């Protein structure tokens, strides 16, 4: 199994950096719609750009891109890309448990379908 992890390490880091970026952004932006109506959008974005955590999220996004390039040097695109669906499950759980977001049955079912598809693809390789 260690050979599998060596071959998929960049992919795992891609997932970690992608999820970190999204969670940091959600945390710093706050509740959905909080800036859309009441505040000047340019001022809101400029305020976000003054936050170090937002720059850390940007760095995570950049590192995710680098990890993706390295992933594609190890794995075929048609095999690697479905693994990005893992981010759906992690974000769904984090949205519910960390941010208290509503997660309905349709979102759970959709995420389960993505994960089932991933299992089918992994087993076919």
Reading the block at residue 1, the tokens are: 């199994």
pLDDT attached to residue 48: 87
Look-up: residue for tokens 């976000």?
48
pLDDT value, residue 1:
58
Identify whether the C-beta of residue 80 lies closer than 8 Å to the C-beta of residue 71: yes
Average confidence score pLDDT of the chain: 89
Q: Which residues of the chain have pLDDT under 70?
A: 1, 31-39
Which residues in 37-95 belong to E strands, given as ranges? none
The rounded distance, in Å, linking the Cα atoms of 10 and 91 is 19
Rounded to two decimals, what is the model's pTM? Answer: 0.85
How confident is the model at residue 52, as a pLDDT? 94
What pLDDT shows up at residue 65?
A: 98
Q: Give the angle subtended at the CA of 106 by the CAs of 20 and 112, to the nearest 5°.
A: 60
């Amino acid at each position: 199994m260690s050979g599998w992890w060596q071959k998929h390490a960049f992919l795992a880091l891609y997932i970690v950096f992608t999820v970190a970026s999204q969670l940091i952004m959600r945390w710093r932006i706050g509740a959905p719609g909080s800036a859309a109506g009441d505040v000047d959008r340019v001022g809101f974005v400029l305020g976000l750009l003054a936050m170090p955590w937002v720059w850390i999220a940007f760095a995570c996004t950049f590192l995710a891109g680098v990890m993706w390039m390295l992933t594609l040097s190890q794995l075929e695109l048609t095999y690697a890309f479905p693994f990005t669906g893992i981010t759906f499950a992690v974000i769904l759980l984090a949205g519910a448990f960390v941010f208290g977001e509503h997660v309905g049955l349709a979102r759970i079912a959709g995420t389960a379908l993505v994960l089932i598809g991933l299992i089918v693809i992994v087993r076919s390789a």
